[in-house]
Amino acid sequence: MSTAYSVCWCRISLLFITFLHLGALVCADLQYVTCGSVLKLENLQNQVRLHSHDIKYGSGSGQQSVTGTLDREDNNSHWVIKGKREKACQRGDPIPCGSLVRLEHLVTHKNLHSHHFVSPLSNNQEISAFGDGGEGDTGDNWTVVCSSDFWERGASVRFKHIDTDAWLCSSGQTYGRPIGGQVEICG
């Protein structure tokens, strides 16, 4: 695969693998990612984890930035799986492949979000974190694309943005200050 970071590369090379961090109850035979699961998502192309923090973009939407980090232990890489706002999922229910989900950042309580703003480095589509207390708008909705009936733990998945049809991906380009070394996440 080419190392060029074009829109096409960004859109087709997104594969994420999940790493579940289940707080209270961990059962060895849990097979599926469930509603309410807290997890980390890793881009398989460049091994960065989906990450956010209370740092706003200096351009585009000005919303909270979403990046990729190589740091495996960073607490700002935890996300909670939720159903769409109009139809919440039941905690503990397996997430069907093809279903609509929201990903809430565990620390800042903002949802993984996208819209038609240009991303800062690659000029693809900006990915941000948006909303207050886990409440946002339709720009927070993503389709889980996977290859079985339900999202399986450890399986590769893709996320397609509902409002814009963009795929969640990494451009591979890295930021300077104030988030030096972190990788651009785009659509």
pLDDT in tens, 99-139: 999 999 999 999 999 999 999 999 999 999 999 988 999 99
* H helix or E strand, kind and range, residue 7: helix 7-12
Residue type, 120: P
Which CATH number applies to 7-186?
2.80.10.50
Q: Are 128 and 57 contacting, i.e. CB atoms less than 8 angstroms apart?
A: yes
Residue type, 97: C
pLDDT in tens, 42-65: 998 889 999 999 999 999 999 999
Cα(126)–Cα(155) distance, integer angstroms: 26
Q: Are 166 and 187 contacting, i.e. CB atoms less than 8 angstroms apart?
A: yes
* H helix or E strand, kind and range, residue 156: strand 156-161
User: What is the average pLDDT across 2-19?
Assistant: 34
Joined tokens for residue 16: 């994420």
Cα(13)–Cα(41) distance, integer angstroms: 15
User: What is the average pLDDT across 89-93?
Assistant: 91
- Global pTM value: 0.85
Q: Which residue has the tokens 């599926």?
A: 32
Where is average pLDDT lowest: 81-85, 93-97, 127-131, 183-187? 81-85
Cα(133)–Cα(76) distance, integer angstroms: 16
DSSP bridge pairs for 111: 104, 130
3-class DSSP state for residue 132?
A: strand
